[in-house]
Each structure stands twice: as C-alpha cells, then as structure tokens.
Amino acid sequence: MANLDFKFLKEKYGTPLYIYDVNHLKKNMTGYLDYFKSNVFETEVLFASKAFCVKEMLRLVKAYNMSLDVVSIGELYTAIAVDFPMDKIYFHGNNKSISDLEFALNNNVGTIVVDNLMELVALDEITNRLNKKCNIIIRLNLGVEAHTHKFIVTAHVDSKFGVSYGSNDYNDMLDVLKNSKNINFKGFHSHIGSQIFDLDAFTAALEKMLGICKSFDKPLVLNIGGGFGVHYTDEDKPIPFDVVSKTLVDTCEKALKANNVKIEKLCIEPGRSIVAEAGYTLYTIGFTKKTPNKEYYFIDGGMTDNIRPALYQAKYDCDIVGKENELKNHIVTIAGKCCESGDLIIENHPLPEAKSGDLLVTYTTGAYGYSMSSNYNKALTPAVVFVEDGKDKLVCRRQSYDELLEREI
Ligand code: LLP
C-alpha cells in the first residue's frame, strides 16, 4: 500500500476525500503501455475516461501519450479543456445527438465509434453538410457477454449497444459506407462487460472480430474495449497487465498468421484497471451504534460519493486509520449519512473498536466513485487530491454550498 498520510490529508482537506496515489496511476498506465505491443501491427491504449474524468487525470493520460475514450460531450469538453490531442480521441455513445456529432466533427475528434444504423445515416448527412471528413469504427455486438467470473457466447441480440454482425442493420450500414463521400471506415469495436477476470472471454471476442476481418480487403482497426477486473476484496483475482496484454496481442498475431489476414491496429480501452486501485476514499467516523444483530459505524459520506455498493452490491475493503494492526474483533456495517436504508458502504466487516473522530479509509475507490457521485440529500461533492512522492496536490475543490445552489433560480 502507498505511503499516504491520511491524518495529514484530513487536516488539510477535510473528509470525505478522494485520494489518488499518482505513482500507482503511472504504474498502471505503463503496465499496459509496456506490454501491449506487437511487431506485426500497431497498438493503442485508450483510457476510458468515464471511470474517472477530471482534468488532472486527463493531463496525466496525455503526458503518457495514451488515447482517450469519451462517451459524452461533457467528457469531450474536459478533454478539450486540457488540450488533449483530438486525433487520439474515440467518441462513443449509443444515442449521440445531432449536435453532439456536429460538436465532435467541428472539434476534429479522431474517431467516432458508431453504435447503430441511424447514427451512421445521421453522421453521413452531417459530414456532407459540414463538408468534413471523419474516421469511424463500428461497435459490434458480438454476442459475447461477460459478467465478472463467467462469460457466455450467445446470440445476445437485444443489447442497447452496437450492431449484430450480419444483421439487416449491419448490412445496411455497409451500404451507407459504400456510398459515403466523407466517412472513412476504419474497423470495429467491441466491449463485452466490466470487472472481468476471465481472459478467455476477451480472446473469444477478439477471435470473432478477427474472423470478421476476413471479409474485408483492407487491414482494419480492432478495438477490444475495456473491462479488465481489479482487486476490491480478496475474492477478486485480477489478471496482471502483462498477461492481459500479451495474451491479446498473441491471440491476434496467431490468428492473423493462420488466416493470412492483416490488421492495421489493435486497441484496448481500460478504465477501471487504470484508476481503481490507485484511489482511496477517506471518511471520518461520527456516531456508532449497536442494534440487537448489528454494529454500525456511521461515516460522513456514503452513497453520494460511492454509489457502487447500493447499485451493484459491490464489495470493498477498509481500515480504521492508525488501527490497521489492531485486533479486528467487531463485525461492523459502515453506513453513510443519506436518508436511505441502502446507504451502506460495507456490510459485516471485521474492524477494531472505533471511536468518534477516527478516520476510515476504503480501498480501490478510484474508478466510478467520483464519476458517479451525486448531490442526493444536497451532499457536497468531495475534493479530489493527488499525492505523489509524499506531496499532495488538490485537483478538484470540495463543492461549496453556494456552488450547490449556483444554478437554481
Ligand atoms: N469501453 C467501453 C465501450 C465501455 O462501455 C466501458 C465501460 C469501458 C471501455 C471501460 O470499462 P472498464 O475497464 O472501466 O471496466 N459504472 C460501472 C461500470 C460501467 C462500465 C461501463 N462501460 C461500475 O461502477 O462498475
């Protein structure tokens, strides 16, 4: 674990507080960049900004020469704010509006990931009207769906994302592309799920995509998406970066050799696995209480800064700061302060005795914590601090009550 001075950070910034260990972020980025390489085709690592989209994070991604997945104008706007190279941006989304597409084209976004037939028709019209060229890849629904430890290959035709290979819509999309003046079709995208530990699910999806390449003359760009699992609790067994990277590259190299096809580039777009384990959330314990069957430690945040336990029954690990090595002889539920019974961050977790004012840290909160935070009960969005080599830097101020009401008339 990183050497973070939680007590000092609490004094300086207050709680709840999102804390990122910058060295860990960098280690994760180089973990992919160093190993996701091939001598046969180009490779590209995109950061899926939805996992944690603040300017300072995108500056780091830019400094590491990585590319970026954005899924909304808000994320794109954040990228523009840090002068992110537009040619390295992939713009996703199943329901981009006409003005979203116009905004992306006017800002010269590198690649649009087209999700469905209607989007392609609209994009074709817009590129003609604005007289703009545009690169696209098509998001395929490959029928490979993975949920953490299992994956299934079925004709899962009803996903809201992507187009099924060989469907009428798919064939109509090829027709639109044939006749398009301004759209440059580059290849395909697929994303099979999130928090996945089964590498076979990715290789199955990749092999399907490689099979599809055979019906194209030109070498294509293949983007296999994100979804690589991380360690939240000891039940989770993430696959190391080098193994993920090498397996995907090897699968691709072997299939290309066997089928005598070429690809231009292989892309991955991890979000969680870059930021999750580098993130910590720090809380102050307020009241504690015992009921006949439970013991509660109440914290000064909760579902407003981490919705994942309530939304996905996600599990986390935690410690009381300074009492990490004390006997964990209390089975405790960590509850937030929202007016909602489901506002429980961790249930039935062994911890030492705590007193009011103790600090509680939850681990692996760097992905989809800040980015899914809310102002429910008019809670303020916590500050975000980056710490590198013992030096802390505020990258996002805590919201103020005035800011909370700023837009209200
Ligand atoms: N690419 C695409 C097209 C995606 O839809 C996603 C995530 C990613 C990349 C990044 O996946 P990652 O490597 O972060 O697993 N809010 C949920 C996760 C939703 C993920 C949506 N798509 C959570 O907190 O678990």
Name the closest-CA residue to atom 24, ligand 1: 368
Which ligand 1 atom sits nearest the alpha carbon of residue 228? 13
Mutate to test the pocket of ligand 1, among 272, 275, 306 (most ligand atoms within 8 A of CB): 272
* Model confidence at 155: pLDDT above 60: no
| Rounded CA separation 13/327 (Å) | 29
Mean pLDDT across the chain: 95
For residue range 65-122, list pLDDT tens digits in order: 999 999 999 999 999 999 999 999 999 999 999 999 999 999 999 999 999 999 999 9
Q: What is the number of the ligand 1 atom nearest to the C-alpha of 229? A: 15
Write out pLDDT tens, residues 206-225: 999 999 999 999 999 999 99
Q: What is the reported pLDDT for 156?
A: 65
Quick one: DSSP state of residue 83? T
* 155 compared with 86, residue with greater pLDDT: 86
pTM exceeding 0.85 = yes
For the question of residue 339 being annotated catalytic, the response is yes
Question: Does 369 contact ligand 1 (Cβ within 6 A)?
Answer: no
Burial of 236 (0-12, 13-18, 19+ CB in 10 A): middle
| Cα within 13 Å of Cα(159), Cβ side | 24
- Give the DSSP H/E element, type plus range, for residue 43: strand 42-48
Ligand 1 lined by 308 (C-beta under 6 Å)? yes
Give pLDDT, residue 146.
76
Please say if the pLDDT value at position 151 is more than 80. Answer: no
Burial 163-197 (b: 16+ CB within 10 A, else e): bbbeeeebeebeebbeebebbebbbbbbbbbbbbb
Return d(Cα 173, Cα 179) in angstroms, integer.
10
368 within ligand 1 shell (Cβ under 6 A): yes
